[in-house]
């Protein structure tokens, strides 16, 4: 070691060294001042900041979470803004106001189109959501559904007479009854369905000569008190429960469709 280097080392060792104790545990009341002196000695004069952690880490600012508005609130805000822009464009029809309304309205139309498109794609990809599989709307699918429905209906109607009968309420003075009676008789003959004609005014029926005069059957079968004719009631001989079919002139298909739905189709399953 050279004499000059030895002299420099001796001078360094002879220099006073501050105690390496944290200011937080200093016994006297000058702890803060001692800490500042240590920082000046090690961090500024001797530049030992890397080893003595003179560069204090930056504190991360605390952020307060802002609650997000619900989707319903956001949609309500869009509707409110659209109404406000529309009202402003009507009351103050300047080019700026009208343009602002049209632009905002177009944005919402694009949003609606996107929703409709995704809705349709979702139905295509999930058969459980596609109602048209139960009730087709296309011409070809609807025709196939109707044909299948008629086949099922005809099969049910062929066996209907084993359990059900029909009460037919009419009046001899009723013009609609004169039109409807032959229609009902054709259905009865085709499927062997028993029809009991009940005269509400005591008059005869040319189509159903074996009629009876009403003696309270209309009200007891749940047809109300307005005595509307013509009227049909399907009667279940097993459960003894009446099922009103309808009033007024019905076609053969309407009669059979209603009977089929009342006896074979659970409410709500067709829609």
Q: Read off the pLDDT of residues 195-243 as tens digits, 9 standing for 90 and up.
A: 999 999 999 999 999 999 999 899 888 887 788 999 999 999 899 889 9
Please say if the pLDDT value at position 21 is more than 50.
Answer: no
* pLDDT above 70: residue 41: no
pTM: 0.55
271 pLDDT above the threshold of 70 = no
The reported pLDDT for the residue numbered 48 is 53
d(CA 180, CA 100): 62
pLDDT at 38: 53
Question: Where would I find the beta strands (DSSP E) of 14-170?
Answer: 164-170
Rounding to the nearest 10 degrees, give the CA dihedral for residues 4, 6, 9, 15. Answer: -90
- Do strands 164-170 and 231-236 pair parallel, antiparallel, or not at all (unpaired)? antiparallel
Segment 31-37 mean pLDDT: 54
d(C-alpha 133, C-alpha 145), whole Å = 10
Q: Outline which parts of the chain fall under CATH 3.40.30.10.
A: 139-264
The C-alpha angle with vertex 254 and arms to 269 and 243, in degrees rounded to 5, equals 65
pLDDT of residue 23: 44
pLDDT score of 6: 46
Class of domain 139-264: alpha beta
Question: Using CA atoms, how far apart are residues 212 and 260, in angstroms rounded to an integer?
Answer: 27
Q: What is the DSSP letter of 248?
A: S
Say yes or no to pLDDT of 37 above 60: no
DSSP E strands, the chain? 164-170, 195-199, 212-213, 231-236, 242-247
Alpha carbon 198 to its chain centroid, in Å, reads 48
| Range among 141-150, 157-166, 204-213 rated most confident | 204-213
Mean pLDDT of 65-85: 90
Question: To 5 degrees, how large is the angle CA 205–CA 156–CA 232?
Answer: 30
| 3-class SS letters over 174-210 | CHHHHHHHHHHHHHHHHHCCCEEEEECCCCCCCCCCC
Contact between 79 and 112 (Cβ < 8 Å): no
Q: From the CB of residue 190, how many other CB atoms can be counted at a distance below 10 Å?
A: 13
Cα–Cα distance for residue pair 232/112, rounded to 1 Å: 47
Average pLDDT, the chain: 82
């Amino acid at each position: 070691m050279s004499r000059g280097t030895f002299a420099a080392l001796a001078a360094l060792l002879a220099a006073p060294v501050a105690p390496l104790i944290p200011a937080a545990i200093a016994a006297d009341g000058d702890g803060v001042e001692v800490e500042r002196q240590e920082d000046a000695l090690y961090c500024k004069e001797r530049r030992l900041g890397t080893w003595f952690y003179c560069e204090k880490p930056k504190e991360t600012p605390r952020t307060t979470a802002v609650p997000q508005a619900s989707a319903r609130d956001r949609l309500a805000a869009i509707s409110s803004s659209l109404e406000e822009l529309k009202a402003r464009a009507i009351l103050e029809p300047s080019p700026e106001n009208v343009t602002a309304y049209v632009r905002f309205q177009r944005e919402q139309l694009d949003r609606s189109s996107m929703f409709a498109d995704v809705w349709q794609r979702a139905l295509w990809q999930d058969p459980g959501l596609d109602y048209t599989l139960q009730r087709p709307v296309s011409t070809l699918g609807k025709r196939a559904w109707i044909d299948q429905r008629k086949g099922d209906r005809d099969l049910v109607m062929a066996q209907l007479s084993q359990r059900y009968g029909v009460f037919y309420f009419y009046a001899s003075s009723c013009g609609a009854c004169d039109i409807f009676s032959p229609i009902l008789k054709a259905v009865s003959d085709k499927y062997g369905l028993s029809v009991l004609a009940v005269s509400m005014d005591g008059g005869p029926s040319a189509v159903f000569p074996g009629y009876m005069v009403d003696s309270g059957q209309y009200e007891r079968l749940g047809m109300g008190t307005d005595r509307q004719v013509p009227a049909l009631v399907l009667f279940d001989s097993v459960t003894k429960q009446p099922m009103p079919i309808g009033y007024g002139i019905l076609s053969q298909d309407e009669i059979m469709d209603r009977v089929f739905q009342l006896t074979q189709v659970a409410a709500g399953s067709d829609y």
